[in-house]
Chain A
Amino acid sequence: MPVDIDIAKVARLARIGLTAGELAHYGAQLQGILEHAARVQALPTEGVAPTAHPLPMVNAFRPDEVEPTLDREEVLAQAPDRDGPYFRVPPFLED
């Protein structure tokens, strides 16, 4: 079953900046893997409920109590860039 992939769009959604050559390479590989995976579409699954999770659990609650959190300095020390107590990133919008 041929699979239709707009690999440039997929890479953009995934925020992975690939070159044209890399896009073609991954596009061809995905094509092969998806054609194999598309076999799932041939199975009759009418009336079958999807399984998202192996255990039949709903929500996990715990008491709403304040507990110690991670040390802020230790966390921020791992950041590639910071501004005092904040993570710093390049602008979201260009001028």
Chain B
Amino acid sequence: MDSADLSIAGAGARLRSGELTAVDLLTAVRRRASMTEAILHAYLTIDHEGALVAAEAADAALARGEDRGPLHGIPIALKDNMVTRGIETTCSSRILAGYRPPYDATVVERLKDAGAVIFGKTNLDEFAMGSSTENSAYGPTLNPWDPDRVPGGSSGGSAAAVAVGSAFGALGSDTGGSIRQPGSLTGTVGMKPTYGLVSRYGLIAFASSLDQIGPITRTVDDSVTMFEAIAGHDPSDATSYRGRVPEVRPGLDAGVKGLKIGIVRELSGEGTAPDVAASFRRTLDALAGAGAEIRELSLPSTEHALSAYYLIAPAECSANLARFDGVRYGPRIGGRNVEEMMSATRRDGFGPEVTRRILLGTYALSAGYYDAFYGQAQKVRTLVVEDFRRAYAEVDVLVTPTSPTTAFAVGEKANDPLAMYLSDICTIPSNLSGDPAISVPCGLDSSGLPIGFQVLAPALGEGVMFRTARVVEELSGFTARPALATSEGAV
């Protein structure tokens, strides 16, 4: 096995046994990146120099007996909407071309403190708005399972890098499914923590009440490792949770015997591709076989979650993206006065999807329409939250397919924003409620493309969520690797 294909746990074990060094691990992902990047374009920036310095430092520390834990010496990728001091951070937008942030995001500091080696910054849909990573000003990322298809999005670069082995793990951000849906489409494990558990300080904001950073990894165990490294209170984020982070490692292998698992009627029927539905059913049967009690539940408001989301997210985005005005960072297009300058800079700097959502949000917040659109959407959000509360009085976790389809073709939905939005139907409700959710690979469709199984849990229910995900991972026995990761000799 090429060491680029090891899990974080596997790489860590070899590091500690002396079989491999952190520099070896870095060399392995660099080699994999050099073989795949020309096709995939998962990365916007690779920090070769900084990563080598960090890897050498990790080796020196280990030699001194200084071990920072399971991420020590492990090359990790970051979605390019998390700021990194001195390293270009663009959010895949022209409006931030050349921007070198003056500070590190809290998650970056935490990863560095845990000894991780920051390898590079990954591609995304501009400002994390999209479900395919086609909306990048620097060109799309493709799917390592089939380069004619999208890797999902918006964290498509992070997901593709982890799937193909040009990173051992990565961070993404999830506002409506942007970690879980690309996880599903690339055969990786994508996890969105409870809102507030991971600091958003230094995450360039899209929709502040929905955004949450989380890991993309190749195993559930690695997901736990990364979650533990990044979670925790941060005074720099006013929305950071002040209580204790749930302990997830202790009950991780406790199994699902006696666990009550709910199927959401509204999210697992109509519109789900037959192969996805079949694989979902097979996994459910296996969970029942492992001792779980399966019940079907109705969450009627989830049908309206999508409509509410496409008012709330653009409304928050239109306010957050007001800061990109050609004054403090990024390029500027001149004008005779400040309004002309800002209007010209923003017209040139934002791509079509970002422009569309800013306009949508500006409209939904404007005088005369606020109550009918934004105000009403916030009330529907309450209904979604109440639906979940009722459901969790009856069951421990809920499950759905992560995405109604497997990876779609490049360009297939590019000109139909509404069809693209519909691909997030199963992931959006937990952003509205702020609850944790994870996508785990559960099989392949007839074209050999990965299918994701989603586990949702109540707020701070990461323990039972990871525990269920571990069983799904084990039962599905998913070990397939994307063509691009295994055909190295041929590339």
Cβ-defined partner of B380 (8 Å) among A7, A45, A79: A45
Assuming the contacts A13-B366, A43-B304, asked whether A51 and B378 have C-beta atoms less than 8 A apart, the reply is yes
A66 at the interface (CB under 8 A from B): no
Assuming the contacts A17-B343, A17-B347, A55-B195, asked whether A50 and B379 have C-beta atoms less than 8 A apart, the reply is yes
Q: Is the CB of A80 within 8 A of B331?
A: yes
Number of interface residues of B (CB under 8 A): 74
Q: Is the CB of A54 within 8 A of B331?
A: no
Contact residues of B with A, CB < 8 Å?
99-103, 195-196, 209-210, 235, 238-242, 301, 304, 307-308, 310-311, 318, 322, 325-332, 334-344, 346-347, 350, 355-356, 358-360, 362-364, 366, 372-373, 375-383, 385, 417-418, 421, 432-435, 459
Cβ-defined partner of A43 (8 Å) among B347, B375, B380, B417: B380
The secondary structure that dominates the B interface is: helix
**CB neighbours of A24 from chain B (8 A):** none
A20-58 CB contacts (< 8 Å) to partner B: 26, 29-30, 32-34, 36-41, 43, 45, 48-55, 57
Q: Which of A9, A49, A51 has the most CB of B within 10 A?
A: A51
Q: How far is the CB of A61 from chain B (nearest CB, A)?
A: 9
Q: Is the CB of B385 within 8 A of A51?
A: yes
Cβ-defined partner of A7 (8 Å) among B101, B318, B359: B359
Assuming the contacts A16-B343, A54-B195, A90-B341, asked whether A26 and B359 have C-beta atoms less than 8 A apart, the reply is yes
Q: Is the CB of B307 within 8 A of A29?
A: no
**CB neighbours of A79 from chain B (8 A):** 327-329
Q: List 11 A-B contacts (CB under 8 A).
A: A9-B366, A17-B346, A18-B347, A30-B363, A37-B364, A45-B380, A45-B382, A50-B379, A54-B435, A75-B328, A89-B327
Q: Is the CB of A39 within 8 A of B338?
A: no
Q: Which of A16, A39, A57 has the most CB of B within 10 A?
A: A16
Contact with B along A67-95 (1 / 0, CB 8 A): 00011001101111100000101111110
Contact residues of A with B, CB < 8 Å?
5, 7, 9-18, 26, 29-30, 32-34, 36-41, 43, 45, 48-55, 57, 59-60, 62, 70-71, 74-75, 77-81, 87, 89-94
Q: How far is the CB of B151 from chain A (nearest CB, A)?
A: 24
Q: Is the CB of B240 within 8 A of A40?
A: no
Assuming the contacts A37-B307, A60-B239, asked whether A50 and B336 have C-beta atoms less than 8 A apart, the reply is no
Assuming the contacts A14-B362, A89-B341, asked whether A54 and B355 have C-beta atoms less than 8 A apart, the reply is no
Residue of A nearest to B326 (CB): A80
Expressed in whole angstroms, the Cα–Cα distance for A39 and B304 within the complex equals 8
Q: Is the CB of B373 within 8 A of A37?
A: yes
Expressed in whole angstroms, the Cα–Cα distance for A51 and B362 within the complex equals 19
Expressed in whole angstroms, the Cα–Cα distance for A61 and B355 within the complex equals 35
Q: How far is the CB of B378 from chain A (nearest CB, A)?
A: 3
Expressed in whole angstroms, the Cα–Cα distance for A41 and B370 within the complex equals 12
**CB neighbours of A54 from chain B (8 A):** 195-196, 209-210, 385, 432-435, 459
Q: Is the CB of B372 within 8 A of A41?
A: yes
**CB neighbours of B355 from chain A (8 A):** 16, 18, 26
Q: How far is the CB of A84 from chain B (nearest CB, A)?
A: 15
Assuming the contacts A17-B346, A36-B310, A51-B382, asked whether A90 and B336 have C-beta atoms less than 8 A apart, the reply is yes
Assuming the contacts A15-B343, A36-B310, A55-B195, asked whether A10 and B366 have C-beta atoms less than 8 A apart, the reply is yes
Q: Is the CB of B329 within 8 A of A78?
A: yes
Assuming the contacts A14-B358, A18-B347, A34-B363, asked whether A52 and B307 have C-beta atoms less than 8 A apart, the reply is no
**CB neighbours of B362 from chain A (8 A):** 10, 13-14
Q: Which of A32, A59, A74 has the most CB of B within 10 A?
A: A74
Q: Which of A15, A80, A94 has the most CB of B within 10 A?
A: A15
Expressed in whole angstroms, the Cα–Cα distance for A80 and B99 within the complex equals 10
Q: Which are the 8 A-B pairs with shortest beta-carbon distances?
A: A54-B434, A50-B378, A17-B343, A80-B332, A45-B379, A74-B102, A60-B238, A51-B381
Expressed in whole angstroms, the Cα–Cα distance for A55 and B364 within the complex equals 23
Assuming the contacts A36-B310, A37-B311, A50-B382, asked whether A14 and B337 have C-beta atoms less than 8 A apart, the reply is no
Q: How far is the CB of A64 from chain B (nearest CB, A)?
A: 12
Expressed in whole angstroms, the Cα–Cα distance for A71 and B86 within the complex equals 12
Assuming the contacts A11-B359, A74-B102, asked whether A49 and B379 have C-beta atoms less than 8 A apart, the reply is yes
**CB neighbours of B318 from chain A (8 A):** 14
Given contacts A16-B350, A54-B195, A60-B238, 18 further A-B contacts (CB under 8 A): A5-B363, A10-B366, A15-B339, A16-B347, A26-B355, A32-B417, A34-B360, A37-B310, A39-B307, A40-B380, A41-B372, A52-B209, A55-B241, A57-B239, A70-B103, A89-B341, A90-B334, A91-B337
**CB neighbours of A9 from chain B (8 A):** 366
Q: Is the CB of A93 within 8 A of B337?
A: yes
Expressed in whole angstroms, the Cα–Cα distance for A12 and B359 within the complex equals 10
